[in-house]
Structure 1
Amino acid sequence: MHRSLRLGGATLLVLSGVAGCGGGSVTLSGPASSIEKAPQATTCPTAVPATASCLSGVDSKGAYYLIAKPANWNGTLVLHAHGGPSLSAPTIERAEEDLTRWAIMVKAGYAWAGSTFRQGGVEARAAAEDTERLRGIFRSHVGKPERTILHGQSWGAAVAVKAAETFTQETVGEQPYDGVLLSSGVLGGGTRSYDFRTDLRVVYQYLCGNHPRPSEPQYALNLGLPAGTSMKQADIASRANECLALNKPASQRTAEQQAKVQTLVNVIRIPESQILSHLNWGTLHFQDISSKRTGGVSPFGNEGAIYTGSSDDVALNAGVLRYRADPTAYRKLADDMDPTGKIPVPVLTVKWISDPTAFVELDAYFRSLMQRGGSAGRLVQTFTNEGTHSYISDPTYPTLMKALLHWVATGTKPTPAEIASACIEFEAQFGAGCSFSPSYTPAALETRVAARQRPE
C-alpha cells in the first residue's frame, strides 16, 4: 500500500509494508516521486524494432521524453542522459534522434527512456533531475524494472554522474540506479573538461585576430561572447575560414593559412577537422555558461598555462591573452558539473581512444576522482581502438550492458580483458565492431591540456 503526501510543494511517496528495519515504512522523495501525467502511445522511430511499443509525453517541468519497450523486455530499464547540450529549447525531435541512435538497446531487449531535459544550455543538475523524474514516470505508468541502468553519453555522462551522486538510498529513500554506464564521457567536470576551449580561443585570436575583429567591441574571450550578443555558427565559420581556410583542402590554402592550422593542431592537440566545432562550443556554450549560469563572469582561465608545439612558443606564450577564472563562477560551475567521485553503485565506462571531443585523458582524471571519493572499487574503464565520439559500434553496448548487469547481480567486477573477449559473442547478432583494447591506460589530463592556476 502507499499514500502520497505534499510537503512544501514536493511530493513524498510513503510505502507501507516495505522490507526494512522493523517492517516500518520508507519515505521516497525527489523528482521521481512527483505526480506526473501518463505518457501517450506514439509511433516508434523506424530504427526501433517494429514489435516494440513507444510512449511519449511532457513532464511537469516541460521536458519532452520518449520511452521504448521491446516486446521481449528483459526487465532492465536503460535511463538515458543525452549529450550536447543543445542551446535551443527542447523538442520531441531530440528524443526521437536519441532513441534512433540508441535503438541497439531496444534490439538487445532493454527498455529505453530518454528526456530532452527541460531547457537548453549547460546545466547538469537540472538535467539530472529531469532524468530522475523520467524514472518515476516509467515506474508509475509503464512498469517497475528489475534493474535500472543509468546511461550517460558525452555531456550526458556528466549528467549521469551528477544524478548517481545526488539521488541515492540516503537522499530519495531507495537505490534508484543499479549501475551506471558512461560512454564517450565528458568526465572532467565543467572546470577541467573545457579548459582546452579557452586555450583554443586565445591561441586562435593570437593567430587570427578576427574573433572579435579589431573594429568590433573587445571582450574577455573566456566569456565566449558578452551577454546579449548574438552570433550564429555560420558567422564563426566565416571568420575561421577567412583566417584558416578550413573549408578548403590543405593543398588550396596559403602557406600562412596552413601554418596557422598546424599551430592549432599541435598546440591545442585536436584534429584539424575539429577546430571549428570546438571554436563554436568555446563561443556559444561559453556564453551560455557565463551569461546564464555564473552571473556574467567566467569560470574559465588560462593563467599559468604554458603552451607548446608552435614554431615559436616563447612568442606565443608572451602574446596570448591571459584570463583569471572568477572564483565564484568557478565554484558555481563546479557545483553544477564537477564529479565528487562518490558513486554508490558499479560504474562502467567506454571511450574511443582517439575521441577528439571528450579526450581519453579525461578518463584518467575521472579515475583519480573516484579514488579520492572512495569509489575506485566500483569503477571499470574500457577503451576501444575504433569508433566515433557519438557512437562506437552496435556490439559494443550490449557487451557492456551484459558485463555491468552481471557485476550488479554477482558483485564480481569484470576485467577489460573479459569484456573484450565477451564482445565477440555479440558480433553474430549485431554485426562486426568489437575493438576493445584491454591493456590501454590513458595518460594524465595534464599531458594533453596545459596545467593552470585555479581558484582556491
Structure 2
Amino acid sequence: MTLNPLLSALLLGTTVLTAGAQSAQSASSAPSGTALPTAAPCPTGIPEGTRCLNGRDYLGAYYWIAVPKDWAPETGVLVVHAHGGPALGEPTLARSTADLQRWSVMLRAGHAWAGSSFRQGGVEVLAAAEDTERLRQLTLAAIGQPRRTVLHGQSWGAGVAARMAERYVTPDIDPRRTTPGPLPYDAVLLTSGVLAGGTRSYDVRIDLRVVYQALCNNHPKPEESAYPLGMGLPLESKLTRAELAERADACLGVQRKPAERSAAQQQRLNTLTRVVKLPENEILPHLNWATWHFQDISMRKLKGRNPFGNEGVQYSGSPDDAALNRDVQRLRADPAALAELGRDTDPTGRLLLPTLTLHGTDDMTAFVELESHFRDNVAEAGAADKLVQVYTADREHSYSSDAQYVSAVGALLDWVDKGSKPDAASLSQRCKALPAQWQPASGCRIRVDYQPASLDSRVPPRRRAEVATPGVKRP
C-alpha cells in the first residue's frame, strides 16, 4: 500500500516537499509532521496574477495562502487571518475559501495572506490560536520570511488573535520559542472584535434566552422537557434552525412585515427589543447563537456545566417589569465552568505588540461597548501604550470598507517601522488621502471623537464569580 504524502509525513514526523513549495528559499521549515502546501487555482474574485496554495495540516485544519504578483519576502508584508464565528461542525476548505475572498483587499493592497479553517468547530480559542500559528509557520516554509507580519482577527477571531499575541511573541511569554530570528508577529489588527471573552461577551444572549422564554414559552415548548436555558439545547434534541425560526415567528412575527403581525406579536417583539437592546433583525441570529453555541459551550466544551448566569439582573423596558423579573428563569453560573471558559477565551489585556482595533459604532452582532471592556482590561494590565481604538459609523459587522482596512494596516506598519503611533484623526486623514481606487469618499467613515460607553450600560450587570485571568493582577 502506498501512503499519501500527508499521511507519510504524519507517521514519519518529516516534512514532505510538494509542488509549488519554495522550501529552498525559505528561512523556516514547516511544523514537524506537516506537508507543505500545494499550488492551487485561486478562488473567484482574487486579483489576477495572485499565486494561491492550499492544504490540510496534520491536525485537520484546512487553509489557503495567497501571494500577490511581484510580492517578495524581503520587502513584503504577510497578513495572517483568524476568522470569526466560530463555525460548528467539522472544518472545511470552503470556510477558508470564503475568508480569502472576503479579505482579498489585503491582496489588492499588495500583502500576502494566510487563513485557516481551524482544526475543529466550536468555541475553542486557544486551539484556534495554535492552528493559526501553525499556519504562519507553514506559510514561511512555502513563501519565505516576510519583512513584516500582521496578525488580523475578525469578530470572534479577534479574541483568538488577542490571545495569540499574548502567547507567540517572545521566549519569556512562550518558552517554546527558543530559536533566534524575527518576531513571529509585528502588529495586531482586531476588527469588529468580540473582545470581552466568553465570560462577558455572551451575557446578552443569556438575557435574550430567558426574556424570550418568559414572553413566548416555546423554546422549549410546555410539552417538551424543561432544561436550564444556559445549556442552550439538550444534546438529544432534534430541533433545527428552521424550526426555531418558526417558533420565533409564531410568537413575535419576527420574519414578517410589521403590517402582517398581530397586535400581540408586535407587543411581545417591542418588549423583547427594548429589554435586551437588540433590533428586530438581530433577534433570530442571537437566538440561534444562544441555542447551538451555548449547547457547544455548556454541553461539549464544559461537559454539561453552565458558565452563564443572570443572578441579580433587573430587566427593564417591559410593560410590567416586576412581572418579567418574577417570571424569567434565574441561572447561577458554575464558578469552575466560568473560570475554565475564561482561561480559554478571555484576553488578559497584556499587549506586547502595537495593536489597533476597528469597530463599527452600530454593530449589533458584537456591541461596540465590548471595546470599553477591552480598553479597561488593557489599562489594568499596564499596556495602554500598545493600544489604539478607532470607531467607524458602520452597522455591518462582517465588513466595513476597503479603504478603512487598507488605512488600518498602513497605520500599523508605520507604527512599527517609524514609531508613528496613530490615532483616530490621523487614521481618518490617511483614509481620505488614499488613491481613488479605494473609493475613500464613500469608504472613510471614521468617527474621530467617539468613545463607547461601558459594557454595563448595554448589558445589565450581574453577580458573578470572579474569573482569574492569567498575567493580570486584580486590585
TM-score by length of 1: 0.92
Find the counterpart in structure 2 of residue 448 from structure 1: 458
* Aligned AA (1:449): V
Instruction: State the alpha-carbon separation in 1 of the partners of residues 381 and 374 from structure 2.
Output: 10
Secondary structure at 1:136's aligned position in 2? helix
* Aligned AA (2:91): P
Given that 2:364 and 2:395 are in contact with CA atoms closer than 8 Å, whether structure 1 keeps it comes out as no
* Aligned AA (1:286): F
Find the counterpart in structure 1 of residue 57 from structure 2: 59
Q: For the aligned residues, what is the CA RMSD?
A: 1.8
Q: Does 1:214 align with 2:212?
A: no
- Structure 1 residue 10, shift from structure 2 partner: 10
Instruction: State the alpha-carbon separation in 1 of the partners of residues 216 and 125 from structure 2.
Output: 33
Q: Does 1:233 align with 2:241?
A: yes
Instruction: State the alpha-carbon separation in 2 of the partners of residues 345 and 254 from structure 1.
Output: 54
Find the counterpart in structure 2 of residue 438 from structure 1: 448
How do residues 347-358 of structure 1 correspond to structure 2 at under 5 angstroms? 347-358=355-366
Q: 1:216-237: per-residue Cα shift (whole Å, max 9, x none)?
A: 0000001101233332211110
Find the counterpart in structure 2 of residue 17 from structure 1: none
Percentage identity across paired residues of the two chains: 51
- Structure 1 residue 375, shift from structure 2 partner: 1.2
Choose the corresponding residue for 1:296, options 285, 296, 304: 304
Q: Does 1:345 align with 2:353?
A: yes
Instruction: State the alpha-carbon separation in 1 of the partners of residues 147 and 254 from structure 2.
Output: 50
Q: 1:366-425: per-residue Cα shift (whole Å, max 9, x none)?
A: 000101112111000001113510000111100000001100112231111000111012
Find the counterpart in structure 2 of residue 385 from structure 1: 393
- Structure 1 residue 293, shift from structure 2 partner: 0.9
Find the counterpart in structure 2 of residue 335 from structure 1: 343
Instruction: State the alpha-carbon separation in 1 of the partners of residues 382 and 45 from structure 2.
Output: 40
How many residues get paired? 431
Given that 2:306 and 2:334 are in contact with CA atoms closer than 8 Å, whether structure 1 keeps it comes out as yes
Instruction: State the alpha-carbon separation in 1 of the partners of residues 438 and 43 from structure 2.
Output: 19
Q: 1:268-319: per-residue Cα shift (whole Å, max 9, x none)?
A: 1111000000000000000000111112111110001111111111111111
Find the counterpart in structure 2 of residue 313 from structure 1: 321
Q: Does 1:50 align with 2:51?
A: no
Secondary structure at 2:78's aligned position in 1? strand
Find the counterpart in structure 1 of residue 111 from structure 2: 110
Choose the corresponding residue for 2:70, options 72, 90, 93: 72
Instruction: State the alpha-carbon separation in 2 of the partners of residues 161 and 109 from structure 1.
Output: 24
* Aligned AA (2:98): E
* Aligned AA (1:442): P
Find the counterpart in structure 2 of residue 88 from structure 1: 89
Q: Does 1:131 align with 2:141?
A: no
Instruction: State the alpha-carbon separation in 1 of the partners of residues 382 and 38 from structure 2.
Output: 42
Find the counterpart in structure 2 of residue 37 from structure 1: 35
Stretch moving more, 71-80 or 423-432:
423-432
Instruction: State the alpha-carbon separation in 2 of the partners of residues 108 and 329 from structure 1.
Output: 43
* Aligned AA (1:41): A
Instruction: State the alpha-carbon separation in 2 of the partners of residues 91 and 241 from structure 1.
Output: 31
How do residues 183-262 of structure 1 correspond to structure 2 at under 5 angstroms? 183-262=191-270
Given that 1:34 and 1:136 are in contact with CA atoms closer than 8 Å, whether structure 2 keeps it comes out as no
Instruction: State the alpha-carbon separation in 2 of the partners of residues 32 and 315 from structure 1.
Output: 61
Instruction: State the alpha-carbon separation in 1 of the partners of residues 317 and 392 from structure 2.
Output: 27
TM-score by length of 2: 0.88
Find the counterpart in structure 2 of residue 99 from structure 1: 100
Instruction: State the alpha-carbon separation in 1 of the partners of residues 276 and 458 from structure 2.
Output: 8
How do residues 158-169 of structure 1 correspond to structure 2 at under 5 angstroms? 158-169=159-170
Instruction: State the alpha-carbon separation in 1 of the partners of residues 384 and 263 from structure 2.
Output: 49
- Structure 1 residue 427, shift from structure 2 partner: 5.4
- Structure 1 residue 165, shift from structure 2 partner: 1.0
Stretch moving more, 361-370 or 289-298:
289-298
Given that 1:427 and 1:433 are in contact with CA atoms closer than 8 Å, whether structure 2 keeps it comes out as no
Instruction: State the alpha-carbon separation in 1 of the partners of residues 432 and 395 from structure 2.
Output: 16
4+ long deviations beyond 6 Å: none
Q: 1:107-153: per-residue Cα shift (whole Å, max 9, x none)?
A: 00000000000001111010000000000001112111111110000
- Structure 1 residue 33, shift from structure 2 partner: 4.5
Instruction: State the alpha-carbon separation in 1 of the partners of residues 254 and 397 from structure 2.
Output: 21
